[in-house]
Amino acid sequence: MNYTIKKEDLPTFLSSLKKRFEVIVPAKNEVGASSFQAFEGQQLYLDTRTDFSPKKYFRPAKEKIFSFRKKSGSYGIKAEFDKTKRVLFGIRPCDTHALHALDLLFIKYFGEDQFYSSRRKNTVLIALHCTEACENSFCTSMGASQAIGHDLLFVERGSGFFVKPETETGKKLLDPKFFRHTSDAPPSPKISCQKELETQDLGESLYRNFNHGIWKQESERCLSCTACTQVCPTCYCYITDDEFAFGSEKESSRFRLLASCQLLRFTKVAGGHVFRQSRSSRLRQFVLHHLSYFEENHGVQLCVGCGRCISACPTKIDLTEIANKIQSHALGGKK
């Protein structure tokens, strides 16, 4: 059974959820960038995908993972799991695929990372289908233009939304005060992305062209500013840091901090060796991780084609141009 809701009822519906959940919505921030934030009655941003993904609710830039305190010669440790009950409204299909990739990494393949899984288990996802292509997107090439793993799907239709429940958790949100049954078939708007990426044998092609001249050529424009990795919904690399309360038995804390493969210091290891000294090697790592290594290890591409890294790059470095040039070279100039 599917449902509809009028656009004018959406703010009241979201407000009603606040009795039970922290409600997170897409909206513009104080400097005009679109991002996900707590719903306080502000105007929603529903035009296209947001400039920043909802990743911070699953992998915050700074996350306290445990605290520790000296107790008569030993240490007591207390883990910190975020169990806040959240509803995330308006997550786009590309970002649901990003969560799927992170789930594979942090829940399925290497044992459960409870700091991540606690946030995932306690968050209800209301996906919003795209009705037009976003700037620089290529989600259709990456197979990420249809939402996955969500509890409810909203599709804009005229003066309201068509609503398709996917889980029992989603169905429980469908308060008859706001939602009406419909027997209509679900609308399925088609989008046509601005960019395309030839993905057949892509990972293998990129890896075989590890020493292609394009890496050096493109990296000459790279500023190592990290904008690409900050906006990416799937970049997850992190460092840890401790805040010590020295000389006392006060509580100290360990934090997990998002890092960036584009920074020289991120590639420095114990003993002082720097693994990726050149900007070209760091740019190549970003592209190969998203379009080659992750798929080889986990069976899905880490890149979901949201196009955010392209939009955010101040020098217009575009991973689809790099990958398509290499594909063209690999395919003997046929593309």
Which residues, numbered 15-74, are part of the site for ligand SF4 (CB under 6 A)? none
Minimum gap (Å) between residue 252 Cβ and ligand SF4: 33
Q: How far is the CB of 303 from ligand SF4 (least distance, A)?
A: 3
Q: Is 119 exposed, middle or buried (0-12, 13-18, 19+ CB in 10 A)?
A: buried
Q: Which is nearer to ligand SF4, 254 or 284 (CB)?
A: 284
**Shortest CB 301 distance to ligand SF4, Å:** 8
The CB-of-288 to ligand SF4 minimum distance in angstroms stands at 11
What count of other Cβ atoms lies within 10 Å of the Cβ of residue 6? 15
Is the Cβ of residue 128 or residue 317 nearer to ligand SF4 in the bound state? 317
H helices, E strands: number in the chain: 11, 12
Which parts of 204-243 interact with ligand SF4 (CB under 6 A)?
222-228, 231-234
Chain residues 251-310 in contact with ligand SF4, contact rule CB under 6 A: 262, 283, 290, 303-309
Hey, what's the torsion of the CAs at 89, 90, 93, 97, to 10 degrees?
-40
Residue owning tokens 């599917």: 2
Q: Does 193 bind ligand SF4 (CB under 6 A)?
A: no
Which of residues 197, 313, 326, 330 is near ligand SF4 by CB under 6 A?
313
Closer CB to ligand SF4, residue 299 or residue 314?
314
Cβ-based neighbours of 334, under 8 Å, separated by 6 or more: 328
- CA-nearest of 306, 244, 316, 257 to 95 is 306
User: Closest separation between CB of residue 265 and ligand SF4, Å?
Assistant: 14
Applying CB under 6 A, among 180, 196, 315, 331 the residue interacting with ligand SF4 is 315
CB atoms within 10 A of CB 44: 18
Query: CA-CA distance, 142 to 118, in Å (whole number)?
Result: 28
Strand boundaries in the chain, DSSP class E: 2-6, 22-28, 34-38, 62-71, 74-79, 86-91, 123-128, 152-157, 160-165, 180-182, 238-243, 252-258
**Of 46 and 317, which has the nearer Cβ to ligand SF4?**
317
Smallest gap from Cβ 53 to ligand SF4, in A, equals 8
Give Rg (Cα) of the chain: 22
**Complex with ligand SF4: residue 189 or 314, whichever CB lies closer:** 314
Instruction: Specify the residue, 4 or 140, whose C-beta has the smaller distance to ligand SF4.
Output: 140
**Count of other CB atoms within 10 angstroms of residue 72:** 6
Positions in the binding site for ligand SF4 (CB under 6 A):
222-228, 231-234, 262, 283, 290, 303-309, 312-315, 317, 319
